[in-house]
């Protein structure tokens, strides 16, 4: 049963993701991740596909382009609205939904997937249980998540001291990118078929620090943390630490910065 506190948390999360401009984040450098997940899941025409925490449909759209019947669900209606505007004519149902309490019957999808989405549900086990529940026996579960050891894991570690205390039971999002943690969440309800570590290469910025500026301007979690740091009188400290972070993770040059964001891509079969 959802409590008042839970509902307040969900509302806060939805508002956070609606802030900034997440569609611009996708267009700037996240676009390749959706097709990578769709390819790994082997999605074909006619498949019933659920994209959990779909955002603007970065994985939903390529799945629908293959002829699948796609349901794109997300806690934030504004992101679904943006995706709907960008994908007219495709077989996609855009459904507001909480990843921890999906409004779908048991075993109702052939493929259940999430590209850097469900990892942000605060209660990991509840979300994992829902992913498994709505996937039919023999169906495919595909997850792509940032790793704790990679650049985004490090960014969330940087932001943590500047953020308000997390709600009880909430776990860090990058834990979904830990193979051990993910196996613990899914247990013996699935058979792991493949686990791949790879990275998303980013060359979209002319200065390393522009990466951090982009996140402060358009990425909901960073905007929320920066606002809290400002409220506490620590905004300059946060900005300086984020600039240093960008220099540290730059794998290119000062003139041509390049970043590598590691992710874990896991495909499993529901037993």
Break the chain into its structural domains and give their ranges. 4-156+164-202+262-270
Residue 203 CB neighbours (<10 A): 12
Question: Tens digit of pLDDT for each residue in 250-268?
Answer: 999 999 999 999 999 999 9
Question: Tens digit of pLDDT for each residue in 6-63?
Answer: 788 889 889 999 998 999 999 999 999 999 999 999 999 999 999 999 999 999 999 9
Average pLDDT for the chain:
96
Q: Is the pLDDT of residue 170 over 50?
A: yes
Question: Tens digit of pLDDT for each residue in 186-229?
Answer: 999 999 999 999 999 999 999 999 999 999 999 999 999 999 99
Does pTM top 0.75 for this prediction?
yes
Q: Are 109 and 135 in contact (CB under 8 A)?
A: yes
Q: Would you place residue 1 in the very low, low, confident or very high pLDDT band (cuts 50, 70, 90)?
A: very low
Edge-first strand order for the sheet with 48-51 is 92-96, 69-74, 48-51, 109-115, 135-146, 259-270, 190-202
Predicted pLDDT of residue 3: 58
Domain 4-156+164-202+262-270 class in CATH: alpha beta
């Amino acid at each position: 049963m959802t409590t008042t506190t839970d509902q307040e948390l969900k509302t806060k999360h939805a508002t956070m993701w609606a802030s900034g401009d997440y569609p611009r984040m996708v267009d700037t450098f996240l676009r390749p991740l959706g097709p990578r997940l769709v390819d790994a899941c082997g999605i074909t025409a006619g498949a019933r596909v659920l994209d959990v925490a779909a955002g603007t449909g970065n994985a939903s759209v390529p799945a629908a382009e293959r002829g699948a019947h796609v349901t794109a669900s997300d806690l934030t209606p504004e992101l679904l609205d943006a995706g709907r505007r960008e994908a007219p004519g495709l077989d996609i149902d855009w459904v507001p939904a909480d990843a921890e309490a999906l409004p779908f019957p048991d075993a109702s999808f052939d493929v259940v997937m999430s590209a850097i989405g469900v990892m942000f549900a605060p209660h990991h086990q509840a979300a994992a249980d829902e992913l498994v529940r709505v996937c039919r026996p023999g169906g495919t579960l595909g997850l792509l998540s940032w790793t704790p050891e990679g650049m985004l894991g490090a960014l969330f570690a940087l932001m943590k001291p500047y953020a308000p205390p997390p709600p009880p039971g909430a776990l860090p999002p990058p834990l979904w990118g830990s193979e051990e943690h993910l196996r613990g969440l899914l247990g013996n309800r699935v058979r792991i078929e493949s686990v791949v570590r790879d990275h998303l290469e980013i060359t979209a910025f002319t200065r390393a620090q522009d990466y951090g500026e982009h996140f402060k301007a358009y990425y909901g979690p960073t905007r929320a943390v920066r606002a809290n740091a400002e409220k506490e009188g620590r905004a300059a400290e946060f900005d300086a630490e984020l600039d240093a972070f960008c220099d540290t993770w730059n794998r290119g040059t000062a003139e041509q910065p390049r970043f590598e964001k590691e992710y874990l891509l896991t495909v499993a079969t529901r037993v």
